[in-house]
Structure 1
Amino acid sequence: MGKSVPKQEDMYEAVIEVIRKRDGSATRQEIDEGVAEYMELSDEQVNQLHDDKGTRTRLSYNLAWSRTYLKAFGMLDNSKRGVWLLTPKGHECATVDKKEIVNHFRSTQRKKRVAKKRPHLTNNIQSEALEGWRDELMEAVLELSPSGFEKLCQYILRESGLIEVEVIGRSGDGGIDGKGNMQLSGLLKFQCFFQCKRYRGSVTPKEIRDFRGAMAGRSDKGLFITTGVFTKAAREEANRDGAPLIDLINGDMLLDKMQELELGLKQNLVYEVNKDWFRQFK
């Protein structure tokens, strides 16, 4: 049996260092990939699923908690668009005391429970790790037929600014599922091919090479979209020197984009009863 994925408290230092090396801010994807490289994690550790229901990896799940604890401790902050920022406290930190961070978080949650009279810790935590809609949304995507997933990707690309997006997937076309055009300032137009892979597994370097080969002589812009994950070797192949760049969108990034565009999601207001308000009528 291979090595287990590091616990959330064992990745605090790595998270801080990865963001620091990116001049103090980084996206969730940059943090996840950076931590894997910083800690020299194996493909097996990086791609291990959190559970057998969704496509979220255990590493991604644990790192979500790492960021939550560091934010509660005042070392990180984040925007609604998922960009994480080192606070002055985070910048000034020379060493990370994981025990102190964990104790601070637990103490804060206990105080909140007492103040709000809520019995469960999870009711008071604002963490990416508890975003249940992500698993539900991914399940809805995975339930689509292959052609349905291609149409969804087509719609997302249109919403993201591509024009003349077509689904052209057919057998014998080397995995090319569609094409579209990116227009620069309304003047220059670049054609882009895309491939959509709807499954729970990992995309390998071979699939990247096959896709690039199918693009040869037709376009040097490629986009590979999957509900799964890309192995480290696949990411390296996509960015190999001397070869056309293949941009990658994994399952987490796909959900982020759907959230940003509010596709397949609707916001619900959650009300909490204020019992003190009723005292005026007694």
Structure 2
Amino acid sequence: MPIPKFDETMLPILKALQDDKTIMMQELSDKIQAEYFDLTEEEKKEKISSGYSRFFDRVSWGRTYLKKAGLIEQPERGAVKITQEGLKVLSQNPESITVDFLTQYPSFMAFQSSGKDKTKEDIGKSLIEKFSPQDMIDRGFADIQGTLKSDLLEKLQGTNPYYFEQVVLDLFQKMGYGDYLGTPKSGDGGVDGIISQDKLGLEKIYVQAKRYAGANKVREPEIRNFIGAMSDGVSKGIFVTTSSFDESAKEKAKNAHNHKIILIDGEQLTDLMIKYSVGVQVKTSYEVKEIDNDFFEEI
């Protein structure tokens, strides 16, 4: 039989996890391949450009979609486990699980709509029915980037606060700022680090980094305390969080007299980390070529 599409692996994934045990991804892939898909030896060996097994790649995407819908979870690196919602879905004996089926879950819709203007109808429809090959490349790339941003934010929220501070300072150095100095881990008065705006160190910028869960917004008192901790002569500060800022915090930063305060939320932070390759690496690259008409006109 042909290698299954990624959505065709989703129900087998849930069924393979129905014993409520944690299983490693490679073991899961081998299990559903043996029990649900009768692949030829050639199909088993088929690889994508990054070198991964094509079948394993399809299972990995099935895993990602189920995770974003909340039907499975990832308790540790490289491992998966079914959730109570996943068990509930299995108890209904579905004939299949499709992308359209997953659109009933708000967390999945948020993931699919991240950074794109997509409707529920768009998400559930076959891309081939609606889009050109270039459109599909662009939208596929956007989906991959959306998954990366979501996973990266989850990683950041799982780090300890001091490591997160170091990640933020590393990012600013990659962005071209000068030397940085981390402040003591306690009693820092609301400042986690100090960076130079330029390589010569002519002007200093104070940095505050808060590793919060998504629902825990940064509020006005935290911005006020940050401003209050800034030394005389330092007028610029950057406040970074893995969550977001409520309106009172934004207003306080906007109207901070004699101070310029920049706010960076979780969405902006992951964008910057991807742009400057902090905590991420290139998995694979593609070149899309076209006819060089100038070349043929010169012949």
Note closer, same or farther for the CA distance 1:145–1:111 as it changes in structure 2 (3 Å cut): closer
Aligned to 1:65: 116
Kept after mapping to 2: 8 A contact 1:112/1:124: no
User: Out of 118, 140, 143, which is 1:126 matched to?
Assistant: 140
CA contact (8 A) 1:138 1:255 kept: yes
SS at structure 2 position matched to 1:202: coil
Asked whether 1:192 is paired with 2:205, we answer yes
The one of 173, 188, 193 equivalent to 2:188 is 173
The aligned counterpart of 1:94 is none
Answer whether contact 2:207 2:237 (CA < 8 A) is retained.
yes
Q: Give 1:63 deviation, angstroms.
A: 6.0
Q: SS where residue 203 of structure 1 aligns? A: coil
Question: How many angstroms apart in 2 are the aligned matches of 1:57 and 1:204?
Answer: 28
Question: Which residue in the other structure is 2:92 paired with?
Answer: none
Equivalent residues in 2 for 1:72-221, closer than 5 Å: 109-110=128-129, 125-126=139-140, 128=142, 131-183=146-198, 189-200=202-213, 201-221=216-236
Q: Secondary structure at the match of 1:248?
A: strand
Q: Matched residue of 2:202: which SS? A: strand
Larger Rg: 2
Shift of 1:193: 0.6
Please tell me whether the aligned partners of residues 178 and 200 of structure 2 are also in contact (alpha carbons under 8 angstroms): no
**How far apart, CA to CA, are the structure 2 residues paired with 1:57 and 1:242?**
42
CA RMSD of aligned residues (A): 3.9
Aligned residues: 179
- Gap regions ≥5 residues in structure 2: 1-67, 74-106, 287-299
Which runs of 5 or more structure 1 residues have no equivalent in the other structure? 1-49, 70-101, 116-121, 272-282
Amino acid at match of 2:129: R
8 A contact 1:109–1:124 mirrored in 2? no
Cα offset for 1:134?
Answer: 1.4
Summarize the Cα distance change of 1:124–1:181 in structure 2 as closer, same or farther, 3 Å threshold. closer
Instruction: Give the percent of matched residue pairs that are identical in Structure 1 and Structure 2.
Output: 26
- Greater fraction strand: 1
Normalised by the length of structure 1, the TM-score is 0.53
Change (3 A) 1:134 1:61: same
Whether contact under 8 Å (2:235, 2:259) holds in the other structure is yes
Aligned residue number for residue 268 of structure 1: 283
Cα distance in 1 between the residues matched to 2:191 and 2:128: 49
CA distance, structure 1, for counterparts of residue 108 and residue 218 of structure 2: 14
Q: Structure 1 57/202 Cα, relative in aligned 2: closer, same or farther at 3 Å?
A: farther
Q: Which runs of 4+ in 1 moved over 6 A?
A: 50-53, 56-61
Deviation (angstroms), 1:266? 2.0
TM-score, length-scaled by structure 2: 0.50
Change (3 A) 1:146 1:112: same
Larger relative contact order, structure 1 or 2 (CA cutoff 8 Å, min sep 6) = 1
Displacement, 1:106?
5.5
Deviations 1:60-95 (A, max 9, x none): 9646231x67xxxxxxxxxxxxxxxxxxxxxxxxxx
Mapped partners of 1:165, 1:63: distance in 2: 33
Tell whether the 8 Å contact from 1:169 to 1:175 is kept in structure 2 after alignment: no
SS in 1 for 2:191: coil
- Kindly state the Cα deviation for residue 199 of structure 1 after the two structures are TM-superposed: 1.4
Whole-Å Cα distance in 1 between the matches of residues 236 and 137 of structure 2? Answer: 45
* Cα deviation digits, residues 118-177 of structure 1 (max 9, x gap): xxxx99943645521112212222222211111111211111122120110443332101
CA distance in 2, matches of 1:239, 1:169: 28
1:187–1:141 CA distance, 2 compared to 1 (3 A): closer
Q: What secondary structure does 1:138 align onto?
A: helix
CA contact (8 A) 1:159 1:261 kept: yes
Q: Distance in 2 between matches of 1:222 and 1:63?
A: 28
